[in-house]
Structure 1
């Protein structure tokens, strides 16, 4: 029954998904899970293609077409459309930022992208109702020749090893047998240098119903005639590939029909589509521990986690959450093995890149974008009230549940004072006094805390400032210590200071200077607390540029290697460390050779390689072998 003039049309654009994906709130967008019958799991908040009359179990060959079939057989609407979870149509025909593959590329489905695409319901409705059919804007093939001819739709099929032109030939033959009226359009489209791709479109109801009857009649017959017995996974997606070509033929045919209003819109491609993470506690009374890392840091993250587990109480439960952007599935698996067969330990990985425009955040050679993940913890953990945040360039040598049990006494954060900054304040280095009071607004610069170990009262932090506002601070200011500075600003006078044992900084050392030269200039009470903590540290923090996997005998390295021995990454770390040691030895020999030209070798050797030092013994061994 046709809608009366003035009635709002029923527009349904199905966003095809095979895994959890972020779909923006929009009355015209309907996420649908394809291949539901094969997955064994129904994704929440979506339609499912295995209900009613369906071909869900044939998804491996029909791909997104199982959603098109389902909508044809089970849904009633005035307009039917199909997007992919990574590809949408943009409702601004003037957009023209083609990436060379017919896409307007975005990092993610952000508010800025939605605005630029004009993905607002009113704009979408006004544009959709002007047409009977809307297709993806045609993509013109690059000016290259195949088989002596310019690239066209026909010759493009089969350019990749998982497509076979004989399958297209069979399909075109079926089309001409069953629907000879389409033969001329089919031949013309096959010779065209412009293609309409991805099985994406919006059609009025009658057109869509007719299209589906035509499409599936051809494909079901093609499925019978094409021998796919030995096809690989990619080859077996053949019905989806063929449907792209048939869709283009049908669109071109519609354009020749009297009274048909046809339009084209640009296609977008989103790099990241994971849904925004919202975490629920694993244990009702567990110890939530949050860490952040990237893929390269996975080995050291693993060692940190194993040190926590080794010292964990069997009477407590530990909810370990890793915030990441690019940790590979392989590394996630290796790290998760640390909790294997442990009922009181949970390890989860939460991808959080959709919260950031990483390119705008200020990072440097020692700090990566992952350090900013602390700022979004209140938002992605709305049902948590208190958590521990721990940097992963450290090891635990005590049960961190005791740290979690600290009473914050109404403060929103628990952290240790930064003795390094305190020492710089008294040395009057880097203008820290002015920076801490004027830029950070601290009443006392000596109250500045180190953010590598935090107890966070998330409820209190949410009341103080939103994650969005903290991220905005990071985007609009270039702070010296990045998110650590932001937390010091936001949590001013709302801090419970932790003993130095719970964040014991290592002492980096160079020829002629060390971090200890700075630390001993801190206020005496703080320095004395630090020196006491060094005797029995609970959390050893390898903050700064010297790490034990690079400098094997650095301060506190023995703690790292004790737990590294338990890691799946231990052999790999040893190989890397061996290469570093060999490079260092060769560098020392080279330095000595150069200095020998200008002074006596013994005098120089005693200066560069102090008597009794490990480095001196290494070099002596090399010299003996070379002789």
Structure 2
């Protein structure tokens, strides 16, 4: 992959802080996701004080105020941050898969993770890719240094691995939100090009890919994946139960080092701050340059309904009544139905 085409510019914040033994970690996202990436990075530093890191962040653009906060983070924790501003105009020509089109616009950031190894290959032979909706609650040094042989990636089984594996006739299926990548093997086998070719092949045949880029990663890497325990990718769902629907059972996140908030509801919503594992996330936020970044208030019918359920779970009955009334009103006042 020619990185000159996919990249507009790159630079490093405080490169002089880079240590030879640093563990490299990469995040991707649009600019509005930077605060949550910043909280995830903070949680990693808080729970791994004896380790050396270098962070890599792939973005569509970088606002000046976020640049200042990233620099503040870098200075506080004495860690370099490599920034990559991606060329969305070019990347959008590489794929026309309909699932990447939102509100009529192709969101190139969905493809960024495909390019992480190419961009970092001259700096490191290994990188841990993380989604921004994670929180670290323990040591990840064992995972970062794990011997995975000649496997290209190491990652944990998806929560619905049996169902998803059957769909594509695979023996197993991983969640792509947390992936330890053997960059040398990735580059040797030209995985980035294979991912893009396979994605477009499915598109040309009008084959539905419910999980899009995650499906493609599983298909291409089916014989090159080293599976690890969910200690390093524990799925956690914040959906609240209704009166007629049983609560979702999550595994105990206290035993995990990396917790992944899967699904549409995230820890940066105002109505989930009493959940114990969200308190861990909130502690990281409070210790980050993004401490004052506002949480998301419920702004859709689904979100208002979830907030009402959360109030009921917290025994905040007056707030619950107000939210249920607001939910009923939202069905008639033009409030959008989906979204959180």
Q: Same fold (TM over 0.5)?
A: yes
Deviations 1:434-484 (A, max 9, x none): 5221xxxx2x2xx10001111101111222334233223334434321221
Displacement after TM superposition at 1:569 (Å): 2.6
Matched residue count: 301
Structure-1 separation of matches of 2:266 and 2:81: 25
**Are 2:225 and 1:495 aligned?**
yes
- In the superposition, the TM-score normalised over structure 2's length comes to 0.75
Matched residue SS, 1:449: coil
2:121 to 366, 372, 382: 382
- Tell me the equivalent position of 1:373: 112
State the 1:360 CA deviation.
2.4
Q: What displacement does 1:330 show?
A: 2.1
Cα distance in 2 for partners of 1:546, 1:482 equals 19
Q: Per-residue displacement from partner, 1:568-626 (whole Å, max 9, x unpaired)?
A: 3332324x44989xx949x96xxxxxxxxxxxxxxxxxxx7997643524246899xxx
Relative contact order: is structure 1 or structure 2 higher (C-alpha 8 Å, sep ≥ 6)?
2
Q: Secondary structure at the match of 1:339?
A: helix
| Paired position in structure 2 for 1:63 | none
CA distance in 1: counterparts of 2:186 and 2:76, whole angstroms: 35
The aligned runs of 1:29-48 (5 Å cut-off) are none
Structure 1 equivalent of residue 167 of structure 2 = 435
Q: Which residue of 2 aligns with 1:481?
A: 211
| Equivalent residue in structure 1 for 2:294, among 573, 586, 603 | 573
Report if the CA contact (8 A) 1:547-1:554 is conserved: no
2:59 paired residue number: 324
Q: CA RMSD in A?
A: 3.7
Q: How does 1:201-216 map to 2 (within 5 A)?
A: none
Hey, what's the Cα distance between the residues in 1 that align with 2:7 and 2:121?
21
Does 2:58 align with 1:333? no
Alignment of 1:143-182 (within 5 A): none
Structure with bigger gyration radius: 1
From 231, 236, 240, the equivalent of 1:509 is: 240
Other-structure match for 2:253: 534
Aligned to 1:418: 158
**For each residue in 1:343-370, what CA deviation from the matched residue of structure 2 results, as whole angstroms up to 9, or x when unmatched?**
3x111211122661267243266x9532
Match of 1:331, SS?
Answer: helix
Secondary structure of the equivalent of 1:373? Answer: helix
- Any idea what SS the aligned residue of 1:516 has? coil
Q: TM-score, normalised by structure 1?
A: 0.43
- The reply on whether 1:452 has 2:177 as its aligned counterpart is yes
Q: 1:548 aligns with which of 230, 243, 267?
A: 267
Distance 2:255 2:287 in 1: 21
- The equivalent residue for 2:331 is none
1:462 aligned residue: 187
